Structure 1
Amino acid sequence: KGFLQQHRVRLTRALWLGTSEVTVGQFRKFVSETGYVTEGERDGKGGHGRDASGQWGIFPEFTWRHPGFVQSDDHPVVQVSWNDAAAFCEWLGRKEGKTYRLPTGAECEYACRAGSTTRWSFGDEQSDLGNYSWWSGNSEGHTHAVCQKIANAWGFYDMHGNVWEWCMDWYGVYPSGAVTDPQGPAIGSGRVARGGGSWNHDAANCRSAGCYAIVPTSRASYLGFRLALSPSGVRPEAAEDK
């Protein structure tokens, strides 16, 4: 109950958001310049995905380099934890002298909706979903290069499908009434993942309001991230919570 209930959210902070998800090539540059080793590589446990036999599970061989299917540098990077994504943001911020971070869940949904109030940013007709996203109905079981589908009304690509996206805040239940700049609770067990579903999800999970709570050390073949930039140089407080 309440899963489909809409409520009004007001955002007051200036924000820039990446038009696409962070790609394999961009993440590879980060690793090359810093020697960074992802959590899945460090702990030797890999990540969640589907093996060659079609079996889903956590496999040690699944990392961002080998996520369980073939990727090129223009695919969204996957098999990265929340902490890996945060490390990328910190590296790029130091490199460019800017304040990069992950978006809050509210910011992500705001960008996904692009002013709409319908199930998907383009309307309520599921038959149009394939024009805007890679989802379980057309993905053939893997990610695809970013920016191949139609962008939403604000110019953001893959806001539905392709991969779920890590968000900055801890997962929590939104108040039933109107809220301003929500950031989730101060602490929690799962980080928010948004971005309108993934290549592995059905149409219902690709809605603009789609949201999951995922343990921040988790890695999966359907989970990546998108960058946010705070022009003022001031990050929301939740960005400091590890």
Structure 2
Amino acid sequence: MARHSLLSAFLLSLLFNWQTSVRGEEPTTATNSLGMKMVRLAGGDFEMGMLDEHRLKLEHKASAYQREIHDYVEKPAFPVRLSRDYSIGETEVTVSQFRAFVEASGYQTDAEKAGQAWVFQPNAEDPLDRFSLVQSASWKHPGFDQDDTHPVTCISWHDALEFCQWLSKKEGVTYRLPTEAEWEYACRAGTRSSYFSGENPDSVYAVGNVADASLHALHPEDVLRQRVVGLDAKDGDGFPFTAPAKSFQANAWGLYDTHGNVWEWCHDKYSDRYYHDMIDEARKKGSRSKPEPIVDPQGPADTPKHEHGNWRSLRGGSWYVAPLQCRSSVRAFAEAHDAFSYIGFRVVREEE
């Protein structure tokens, strides 16, 4: 990528090597029957959420409303202990991997059954209509060109669950969606910064596919509303929409595209008050000054909002949003039947 200097790459490399040495061990990898590389991570402790030292003191051109929303749903940070090792996909599930599932099982996605999916509509007059339901859109036709190496999109939470259940039966082990805690632990790879690449939002353009000059070249009105490093053609990464898996630098634990490309479904029901509940529980178990870690959190059992829909958590950001929305702690949500051209998923395999 033209915008990134050799010095930047060198500094990132030093940072990643330091993080790995602090962890004290290298994650191990294994390839499954679908050709998916799974990275085994040791369980451990970390702080989940936006840390006190951050409080969005980032160099973003974000509105006060945006800052308030992120501050509200990502705080307070609380201590987490993941008690077991687990393996997580090196990349998001690709088009070819999802196709193998469909061909073997005959499965029809929610979008295919409904005959429509939420797809990017750049010519919509109202910015709120940029993503609209489009007839015949699905993972096969997400509104832009993809090849087999791109992350599959227009996948609902239910579709992702069906994929995991099929793969579990195929291999005789348990595959599932990551919890929010497992996802953030894997994304951070031992870091405490806003991104695994550091605090500077500009660093994200080297490690993830986010809104940049490539999207701006096609649809300037969308990118002008977001923060980008530059808008000259030479500044773009060449991917206005999704990028092939492993197009950008991995984190210290060998995971790709945890910042950007597609939002990733998590197991958890979504609640904007969940972190407040968790820190209260952690303080009851310990003290206000030294809260006890929450062990293996899996999200709320239920909330009043779930009377109106099965809202599930999303992590990581996408090709359509700026670095602010792609931080390690960022949370979003969608209804479990929703299929958007900016949503995909990554899988976890349980280990003994």
CA offset digits 1:149-203 (Å, max 9, x no partner): 0000110000100001001111121222442211011234311111x21101111
1:184 equivalent in structure 2: 299
CA distance in 2, matches of 1:83, 1:13: 26
Give the superposed CA RMSD.
1.5
2:119 equivalent in structure 1: 49
SS of residue paired to 1:116: coil
Change (3 A) 1:71 1:57: same
2:12 equivalent in structure 1: none
User: Which TM-score applies when normalising by structure 2?
Assistant: 0.63
Unaligned runs of 5+ residues in structure 2 are 1-70, 125-129, 216-239, 283-292
CA offset digits 1:117-172 (Å, max 9, x no partner): 10001110112111100001255231010011000011000010000100111112
Among 78, 82, 105, the residue aligned to 1:11 = 82
Deviation at 1:47, TM superposition (A): 1.4
The letter of the residue matching 2:247 is Q
CA distance in 1, matches of 2:80, 2:92: 24
1:154 equivalent in structure 2: 253
User: Which TM-score applies when normalising by structure 1?
Assistant: 0.90
Q: Does 1:83 align with 2:150?
A: no
Among 142, 167, 171, the residue aligned to 2:266 = 167
Alpha-carbon contact 1:139-1:200 (below 8 Å) kept: no
Which one has the largest radius of gyration? 2
Among 211, 218, 235, the residue aligned to 1:136 = 211
SS of residue paired to 1:76: coil
Q: Does 1:31 align with 2:102?
A: yes
The structure with more helix, counted as a fraction of residues: 2
CA distance in 2, matches of 1:7, 1:210: 15
CA distance in 1, matches of 2:347, 2:325: 22
Change (3 A) 1:139 1:183: farther
CA offset digits 1:42-92 (Å, max 9, x no partner): 122x21121363543111222000001000000000001000001001111
2:290 equivalent in structure 1: none
The letter of the residue matching 2:337 is T
Identity score, percent: 42
CA distance in 1, matches of 2:163, 2:335: 18
CA distance in 2, matches of 1:161, 1:138: 15
SS of residue paired to 2:78: coil
Q: Does 1:71 align with 2:71?
A: no
Q: How many equivalent residue pairs? A: 230
Among 197, 200, 204, the residue aligned to 2:324 = 204
Deviation at 1:7, TM superposition (A): 2.3
1:40 equivalent in structure 2: 111
The letter of the residue matching 1:50 is F
